[in-house]
Structure 1
Amino acid sequence: MTESASIERPPRSTPLRAYAGEIHAAPVDVFAALERHLRAESEGTGIAVDAAGRFIVVQGGWWYRAEYRVLASENGARIEHELLNVALTAHWAGPLAGQKVLRDSPAAFGALLTAMAAELEG
């Protein structure tokens, strides 16, 4: 069962990484594909969805929060992704604990965009 996460960003949060990419498809379709992919990948972590705002939060562990937003763009949809440290105690240790996640995040975001683009084209 998936736990719930809050749409509201915790007051103590530090952005660690930010990415953006474009997919040539309607924002509503991109958002639906993003939600499907994140739900499939996020088993055991908290997820919150604001469909009207095209905003998704995935939160797990004591430090990790990922935010995704889908915006309309000239060529379809722009996906913005931000990784945050939301540790309430030992805030300084979040980036240390998440070194592998942070190191792998550019490739993971690229793979997500590639998978979604392939799904939406096919």
Structure 2
Amino acid sequence: MRKRLLTEVEGVVAAPVERVWRALLDDRPAYEMTTELGDHTVAYQGGWWYRGEWSVTAHPEGARVVLRVYNVADRLGWGVPLANRFFVGFGARTRQTFAEGLTALGERLGCPSRLLP
């Protein structure tokens, strides 16, 4: 599989990695996607191009959560960035949605969270 990174966002949740990891897995998408589970990583792949890879690692403040969105289209892969330009703000929307999810995750765990630059 060929992966081309489209956007990456990251943040910190002030809780232990294992707590954040378990909570993140509880938030799995409700719609049909292929899911690959690894050691503190999970990937969701669906549609003709989308792959979102989440990881949780240690951070001095608790746990670092990273989302990387890839274009994995085998055919017409060149069209994904072009199509995303028609959806102006794909990266900004991904960052905003990630930030909202990170805030909700922190609230559910009863601890602060923040987006990293």
TM-score, L = length of structure 1 = 0.81
Task: Select which of 82, 96, 118 maps to 2:107.
Answer: 118
Answer yes or no: is 1:61 the counterpart of 2:33.
no
Answer yes or no: is 1:13 the counterpart of 2:9.
no
Q: Distance in 2 between matches of 1:48 and 1:102?
A: 24
Q: 1:42, 1:58 within 8 Å by CA — same for their partners in 2?
A: no
In structure 2, stretches of 5+ residues that fail to align are: 112-117
Q: Secondary structure at the match of 1:91?
A: coil
1:26-45 alignment, distance < 5 Å = 26-37=16-27, 39=28, 41-45=29-33
Q: CA RMSD of the aligned region, Å?
A: 1.7
Once the 2 structures are TM-superposed, how far is the Cα of residue 111 of structure 1 from its aligned partner? Answer: 0.9
Question: What is the identity percentage for the equivalent residue pairs of Structure 1 and Structure 2?
Answer: 31
Q: Secondary structure at the match of 1:117?
A: helix
Classify 1:98/1:59 alpha carbon distance in 2 versus 1 (closer, same or farther; 3 Å): farther
What is the one-letter code of the residue matched to 2:22? A
Q: Distance in 2 between matches of 1:63 and 1:71?
A: 26
Count residues with an aligned counterpart. 108
Classify 1:60/1:31 alpha carbon distance in 2 versus 1 (closer, same or farther; 3 Å): same
Instruction: Compare relative contact order (CA 8 Å, sep 6+) and give the higher one, 1 or 2.
Output: 2
Q: Distance in 1 between matches of 2:30 and 2:97?
A: 13
Once the 2 structures are TM-superposed, how far is the Cα of residue 102 of structure 1 from its aligned partner? Answer: 2.3
What is the one-letter code of the residue matched to 1:119? R
In structure 1, stretches of 5+ residues that fail to align are: 1-9
